[in-house]
Structure 1
Amino acid sequence: MTATADNFLRQLRDGVTTTSADETRALAARLAPALPPDQTLALHGNLGVGKTTFVQGLARGLGIDAAITSPTFNIFTIHRGGARTLVHLDAYRLENDRQIESLMLEDFLASPWCLAVEWPEKIAAWLPADTWHITLAIESAGRHHVRLAPE
């Protein structure tokens, strides 16, 4: 990892405030090339904090030119076409870890991949140990806070 990427990850661990959806997307786009291969991201935060907006930025940073929307009713969507496959999972409607097994998600994780999970607490026991946990929160009107959990 380059010194610039390492510096950026350090800033993200301290927490970064964004003031628009475009800034949140740009932050995620900047994170994308710093991700290790085959990485799971757990996106924590309440409804409306910008989790899907963050995934839109990840897609842009991975070179994926697709409309990214919340996969709430489909549970997950697969986006190919960039540096790696992006799988966007919305676990909100899952009731337990066993339900994720029936989705056969592993069959769609063609290396290199990034799995971005919204509502990860619903499937916490299923998440790999090396999952990166990112918390998104609203600080005040128009100000969002994004933080990568320290390792």
Structure 2
Amino acid sequence: MITNLDSNRGRKLARLLVVEDDPAVLDIVQTRLEMAGYETHRARDGKSATDMLATMRPDAIVLDLNMPRMDGFAVLEWMARRSHTADIPVLVLTARHGEQDVRRAISAGASDYLAKPFRNDILLARVERLLRSRLRPVEDDVLI
């Protein structure tokens, strides 16, 4: 499990991509994640995010839905069509919180969904949960 304590032990922490077009929200999210010990990279729109994903592989992504050039739904669909990005967990962080938007994002490949405004502790808990689920060994899964 990746936690804040890992930074004290000298371990490499998880790399996160934050995709958000609002500069204030982007700064807040990036600052909170970095304070928790995560390595963060940022993109201000969906097209920039997909360009970055062509050359880097983050451990998880925090993704807004309402963005210029390419919205979050299009990013999720783009990721799902590529083997090198299809399994990256994505936390959608957006002001769009209608039932239809949530269902569409999850269907397109989002792992979790958090509506704005958000609490910082909830954001960090959701990111940690995404990373735990990604790093859990296969033999821990119970098949019924």
Query: Into which bin does the TM-score normalised by the smaller protein fall?
Result: 0.3 to 0.5
Report which structure shows greater RCO (CA 8 Å, sep ≥6). Answer: 1
Which structure features the higher share of strand residues?
1
**TM-score, with length taken from structure 2:** 0.37
> Normalized per residue, which structure has more helix?
2
> TM-score scaled by structure 1?
0.36
